[in-house]
Amino acid sequence: MLFPTLLYEHASIYSTEPRFIQTSTDTQYCTLEFESSVKPSDPVTRSQPTTVQGDSRKEGLSKCGKCKQAFYCNVDCQRGDWPMHKLECSSMCIFKENWDPSETVRLTARIIAKQKTQTEKTAAEKLLTVSEFESHLEKLDNEKRELIQSDIDALHHFYSKHLEYPDNAALLVLFAQVNCNGFTIEDEELSHLGSAVFPDVALMNHSCCPNVIVTYKGTLAEVRAVQEINAGDEAIAIMEVAHGKDHHYIAEIKKELEEK
């Protein structure tokens, strides 16, 4: 399964138009618009040291017996992640402390692997597929393209024995799409847990004055209204800063503010 499962159990069921999301009913402040979840086999990557920071958070977690670098909440989670973890496990054993692909590289590797094995579209894919993600490739300057090329080189370096790659031009587009549409997952203390793609959530446009926000419960993304939204209005999320100050959206905003 490549993408999160949609849960239409709360408040207003939303309808989608090309490239944006509309609400189907009036929505009050703090109403849960919809949820999107990530399962163990979905393309979620965890930063090193995986999902934990400090020994106290490793207590009670299952650990991969081979590489000793991947930690899981339980055995079922570990088994569910094996189709993806096996892409990395052998390389982790070979590279050991030199295993250091970026989180974006790991997420993209999992997406490529899923695209090779997936046979049916999931609920989220019926709304939007990765190939339909915005890449804003035309807005990338030479510096951003060089950074993506570094990620492409790292992908080949760390995953060459386990993945069949598209050509370089297609990888450039894919990395740009992941950069624009990837979400960071945080815990209740806003500590970084990892990254994921939520195609349904990615349909939302962004604004510095949003009417919804994305929060997380574990790997469950919740889209909540932060103001009253009338039926038919577009749901607009706050700017996602998963890639920090280097995200070209942030650079554009800073440039516009400086010009004003």
Nearest Cα residue to 64 out of 36, 84, 35, 42: 84
Query: pLDDT tens, 188-199?
Result: 777 777 788 887
- The DSSP bridge pattern shows strands 192-197 and 32-37 to be unpaired
Q: Show the tokens assigned to 107.
A: 């997420």
pLDDT of residue 48 exceeding 70? no
Burial 183-203 (b: 16+ CB within 10 A, else e): bbbeeeeeeebbbbbbbbbbb
**pLDDT over 70 for what percent of the chain?**
63
CB 212 within 8 A of CB 227: no
- Measure CA 13 to chain center: 23
What's 99's DSSP letter? -
On the CB side of 166, CA atoms within 13 Å amount to: 15
CB 24 within 8 A of CB 65: no
CB 217 within 8 A of CB 35: no
The span from the CA of 127 to the CA of 121, in Å, is 10
Please state which of the four CATH numbers 3.40.50.720, 1.10.760.10, 3.40.50.10420, 3.90.1410.10 is assigned to the domain occupying 5-48+100-259: 3.90.1410.10
What ranges do the domains of the chain cover? Answer: 5-48+100-259
Residue labelled with tokens 């695209």:
115
Average pLDDT, the chain: 70
Find the mean pLDDT for residues 63-79: 85
pTM > 0.85: no
Query: pLDDT tens, 225-240?
Result: 777 777 667 777 765 5
The span from the CA of 43 to the CA of 39, in Å, is 9
Nearest Cα residue to 78 out of 56, 89, 94, 63: 63
44 sits in the region (left: phi over 0; alpha: psi -120 to 50; else beta) called beta
